[in-house]
């Protein structure tokens, strides 16, 4: 076995550490800006000035 050869246990360790960090962020409570935005999208549609330029500004 050559020293430089990567083993699957090395890869597994990398993935496990990465996954832990990823899951930490993914499972955080959602900031209110997102829940608020979803509410707004449901009631009013997309915010003005995003993709559609001139919606009726009621």
CB 38 within 8 A of CB 47: no
Pull the structure tokens for residue 17: 């550490």
One character per residue 1-40, x = contact with another protein (rule: CB under 8 A): --x--xx-xxxxxxxxxxxxxxxxxxxx-xx-xxx-xx--
Give the nearest distance from C-beta 38 to another protein in angstroms. 6
55 binds another protein (CB under 8 A): no
Pull the structure tokens for residue 27: 């499972």
The DSSP output letter for 29 is: P
Q: Which residues bind another protein (CB under 8 A)?
A: 3, 6-7, 9-28, 30-31, 33-35, 37-38, 41, 46-47, 50-52
């Amino acid at each position: 076995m050559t020293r430089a050869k990567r083993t699957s246990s090395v890869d597994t360790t990398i993935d496990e550490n990465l996954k832990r960090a990823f899951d930490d962020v993914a499972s955080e409570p959602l900031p209110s800006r997102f829940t608020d935005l979803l509410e707004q999208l449901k009631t009013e549609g997309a915010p003005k000035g995003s993709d559609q330029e001139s919606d009726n500004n009621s």
